[in-house]
Amino acid sequence: MSDVNFSLAGKVVLVTGASSGFGQRFAPVLARQGAKLVVAARRRDPLLALEEEIESDGGRCLAVTMDVADRHSIVEAYNQAEAAFGCVDVVVNNAGIGLSNPVLGITEEEWDKVLDTNLKGAFLVAQEGARRMNEQGKHGSIINIASVLGLRVTSYLAHYSASKAGLIQLTKAMALELADYGIRVNAICPGYILTDINRDYFETDGGKRMIQRIPQKQLGEIDDLLGPLLLLASDASKYMTGSVISVDGGHAVSKL
Ligand SMILES: NC(=O)c1ccc[n+]([C@@H]2O[C@H](COP(=O)([O-])OP(=O)(O)OC[C@H]3O[C@@H](n4cnc5c(N)ncnc54)[C@H](OP(=O)(O)O)[C@@H]3O)[C@@H](O)[C@H]2O)c1
């Protein structure tokens, strides 16, 4: 038997943004630790495929449609989750979008879209989860997927950086208040993680120069996030709240 317990047996875990990228990888890994998974996003087909994958691997999973910018759809998704599995114990606030545009060109519509998804959306999902945990006496865990761009800045992503910096501060503010109810709130700040969406960019000269500015001089992989994710989801982190964990090859501490 291990000295550290990363088991999620008996826990219900909600992962937002599970229709692609990080969320699609996180869900089966969490299920293999014994959690019952609720996978959420706007696109239903990839969620149903994920549900099928997890169930055929012997796990339990429910696909729910959710737009994190819409409170009604969040409440409805939590209702479905509770009807299937009971109260959500762990919320992985992973849904997010990044739109690239220079400061002088960002439209109000783009600003609202990024902030409504990455910051307001994360708040609404966390708040609804925390209210339900509190009503049902659950000592749950909320994990916000922020970004190195919540700590540092780069060009053309001012709205994204502002949303992620806000999410880091929200993590700390919620951790402070929700400690009274035994609910923990922590953040993971991924750096540049290689995915299908950015693979081509990192082959370009600009992309290669970017990699050289990372102290470890390499990109991360989605699986580099799994250790911190399981730590924060499980009781192994029961004395952690308000923590902000960078997983970025040292990018947040690169020299100026
Ligand atoms: N990839 C990186 O290098 C990197 C680095 C740092 C941080 N992050 C953060 O990590 C998270 C996941 O990123 P990713 O790379 O996996 O991105 P991705 O592949 O584009 O996935 C984003 C997910 O968010 C969902 N989503 C977007 N808007 C939504 C909305 N209004 N309501 C519900 N779901 C919504 C999308 O699903 P639908 O379109 O189906 O709704 C999708 O499942 C994001 O918060 C991102 O900011 C990524």
For residue 206, tell me if it sits in a domain: yes
Is 123 among the domain residues?
Answer: yes
Query: Is 38 a member of any domain?
Result: yes
Under the banding of pLDDT at 50, 70 and 90, the label for residue 34 is very high
Residues tagged active-site? 147, 160, 164
The rounded percent of the chain whose pLDDT value lies above 70 is: 100
- Kindly report, residue by residue over 223-248, the tens digit of the pLDDT: 999 999 999 999 999 999 999 999 99
Q: If you take atom 46 of ligand 1, which residue's CA is the nearest one?
A: 96
We report the CATH number of the domain holding residue 117 as: 3.40.50.720
Q: Given the CA of residue 146, which atom of ligand 1 is nearest to it?
A: 7
CA dihedral 75, 89, 62, 160 (to 10 degrees): 60
Domain-embedded: residue 132: yes
How far apart (Å, rounded) are the C-alpha atoms in residues 198 and 170?
Answer: 28
| pLDDT tens per residue, range 163-210 | 999 999 999 999 999 999 999 999 999 999 998 778 888 999 999 999
In sequence order, the 6+-apart residues with CB closer than 8 A to the CB of 142 are: 90, 91, 93, 126, 129, 130, 174, 178, 183, 184, 185, 186
| Pocket residues: Cβ below 6 A from ligand 1 | 16-23, 41-43, 66-69, 94-98, 117, 121, 145, 147, 190, 192-193, 195
Please tell me the predicted confidence (pLDDT) of residue 196: 78
The structural domain count of the chain equals 1
pLDDT value of residue 153: 96
Distance 137 CA to ligand 1 centre (A): 30
pLDDT in tens, 91-132: 999 999 999 999 999 999 999 999 999 999 999 999 999 999
pLDDT value for 23: 98
Task: Quick: pLDDT tens for 39-78.
Answer: 999 999 999 999 999 999 999 999 999 999 999 999 999 9
Mutate to test the pocket of ligand 1, among 91, 147, 167, 247 (most ligand atoms within 8 A of CB): 147
Q: Which domain holds residue 137?
A: 12-245
**CA 95–ligand 1 middle distance (angstroms):** 4
17 alpha carbon – ligand 1 mean position (Å): 5
Give percent above pLDDT 90 in the chain: 95
127-139 average pLDDT score: 98
Average pLDDT over residues 125-149: 98
Give first-to-last CA distance, the chain, whole Å.
Answer: 45
* Mean pLDDT taken over the chain: 97
pLDDT of residue 248: 98
- pLDDT for 1 equals 64
Could you tell me if residue 47 is inside a domain? yes
